[in-house]
Amino acid sequence: MSRAVTVDQAVTEAAEVLAGAGTVTLLAHLDPDADALGSALALGIALHRRGAVVQVSFARPDAAPESLAPLDVEGLLVPAPLVNPAPEVLVSCDAAEPGRLGSLARLLDTAGRTVMLDHHATNPGFGDVQVLDPQVEATVVLAHRVLVAMGAPIDPDVARCLYAGLVTDTRGFRTAGPAAHRLAAELVEAGADPEPLTRALMDSHPFAWFEGLGGALERAVLEPSGLLYTTIPLADVRRYRPEEIDSVVEVLRTAAEAEVVASVMQVEENRWRVSLRSTGRVDVAAIATALGGGGHAMAAGFTREGTEEEVLAAIRTALAA
C-alpha cells in the first residue's frame, strides 16, 4: 500500500475486506507460536461462524504444536500442501516479513487481496492492507481490533485464541501496558480461563524434558561481553516438542549476569535457528536483522547456515558492532 494510512484506518479497511470475503486463507509464520496461530484462528473462527469458507495454515512444521492445536475448535487448520493456491483474501498474521511465511509467501502474489497484521518494528511493510503497529504487545491485539470493527462477537473460543497470544507475547503480562491488561480482563470476562490456558502454553513439559533441559543448561556459556548462549543439537531438536526446545531461551534469560542470551538450535546438519533475548540494554532486533532475521528489541531471531562456531562468531561480531 503506497498511501500513508493510520493503524485505525487500516483496521477499518481490513474489517471491510474480511466482512465481504467468501473465502479466506489465514497464515501464521513458520514454526507458529501462540500469537501467530491465535490471531489466525481468532479471525478464522469468527469468519467461519459468519459463513465464510476458511483455511488456517503455516508452511512449517507439518502439524500445529500440541499446546496450540486445541484452539482450533472449528477444524480450520489445513496442511500447507492443501492450501487454496489463489484465495480470494489472504491474511498474514504475526509475520515480520514475507519470508517468515516460508513457501506460502507465494500466495501474496496469487491472492485477490492481502491483509497483513503484525507488530514487529522490523517489518518492512507488505500486503494490500497493512495493519502494522509496533506499539502493541502482540498481533492478537490487532486481530481483536479488526474483529471489533467487523462487529464480530468475542465468544469464548475467540477469546481463548486472543488470550493465548497476549499472555505469551507479554511473557505472562510482564511487558503488558494498561491497554493489554484491559484487553486481558475483557477476554477473561468473555470466557478465556487463564489457568488451564497458561499451564498448557507456558508451564507444562513432559518429565523426560528435564534431561534435555539439564543438558542445555550444562552446555551454557557466559562470555565476558555479557553474551550467554547454549546450543541444542539436532538430536534434541528432533527428540523434543517445539514447546520444550523454544522454552530454553526463557530459562537462559533469568541469568542475572547476562546482557544477551542466545539459544542456538541445530535444525539441519549445517543450519541453525537462533532465538535471541535481551535483558534490557541491548537491542537484539538489530543483531537479528544484521544476521538475516528480525524481531523485537527484547526478543528476536534468525536462521543461518554454517558450523556452530561460525554462527556463534557471527553473533559475537554483531553484538560488538
Which residues in this chain contact ligand 5GP in the complex, by CB under 6 A?
29, 96-97, 100, 120, 122, 275, 293-296, 299-303
Most distant CA atoms of the chain, gap in Å = 58
Least separation, in Å, of the C-beta of 133 and Mn ion? 11
Closest CA to 59 of 7, 107, 128, 121: 107
Q: How far is the CB of 100 from ligand 5GP (least distance, A)?
A: 5
Nearer to Mn ion, 141 or 237 (CB): 141
Neighbours of 32 (CB within 10 A): 28
Helical packing angle, 178-189 and 156-169, nearest 10°:
150
The C-alpha atoms of residue 172 and residue 180 are separated, in whole angstroms, by: 11
Query: Which range, of 62-70, 94-102, 180-188, 200-208, touches Mn ion by CB under 5 A?
Result: 94-102
Q: How far is the CB of 299 from Mn ion (least distance, A)?
A: 9
Q: If binding is defined by CB under 5 A, does position 133 make contact with Mn ion?
A: no
**CA-to-CA distance for 288 and 293, rounded, in angstroms?**
5
Q: Which is nearer to Mn ion, 117 or 228 (CB)?
A: 117
C-alpha cell at 316: 559475537
Query: CB-wise, 49 or 60, nearer to ligand 5GP?
Result: 60
Dihedral of CA atoms 48, 54, 59, 62 in degrees, nearest 10, equals 70
The least distance separating ligand 5GP from the CB of residue 280, rounded to whole angstroms, comes to: 16
| Lookup result for grid cell 534468525 | 302
Residue (40 or 258) nearer to Mn ion, CB:
40
Between residues 47 and 101, which has the closer beta carbon with respect to ligand 5GP? Answer: 101
Which option in ligand 5GP, Mn ion, none does residue 57 bind, with CB closer than 5 to 8 A by kind?
none
* Helices and strands counted in the chain (H then E): 13, 11
CB of 289: closest distance to Mn ion in angstroms?
A: 16
Question: Which residues contact Mn ion (rule: CB under 5 A)?
Answer: 35, 94, 139, 169
